[in-house]
Amino acid sequence: MKNRRENFLISGIVLIVLGALFSLGVNIAMGGVMGISGILCFVIGMSVPSEMEMSPEAIANWQPSMERLPDAGRFMYRVDVTLDEPIKSTILCGPCGEITTHDGGKPPKFTCPSCGRLLWKDEEE
Only segment of 21-29, 78-86, 93-101, 103-111 that touches Zn ion (CB under 5 A) = 93-101
User: Between 30 and 60, whose beta carbon lies closer to Zn ion?
Assistant: 60
Q: Which of 20, 81, 98, 100 binds Zn ion (CB under 5 A)?
A: 98
Is 8:44 a contact under the CB 8 Å cutoff? yes
The CA distance from 5 to 52, in Å, is 9
Separation CA 120–CA 80 (nearest Å): 15
Among 21, 58, 96, 118, binds Zn ion (CB under 5 A): 96
Interface with Zn ion (CB under 5 A), residue from 43, 46, 52, 115 = 115
**Under the criterion CB under 5 A, does residue 114 sit at the interface with Zn ion?**
yes
With contacts defined by CB under 5 A, how many residues of the chain interact with Zn ion? 6
**Of 21, 120, 122, whose CA–CA distance to 77 is shortest?**
120
List C-alpha distances in Å: 107 to 4, 17, 30, 100.
26, 16, 27, 12
Q: Which residues bind to Zn ion, rule: CB under 5 A?
A: 93, 96, 98, 112, 114-115
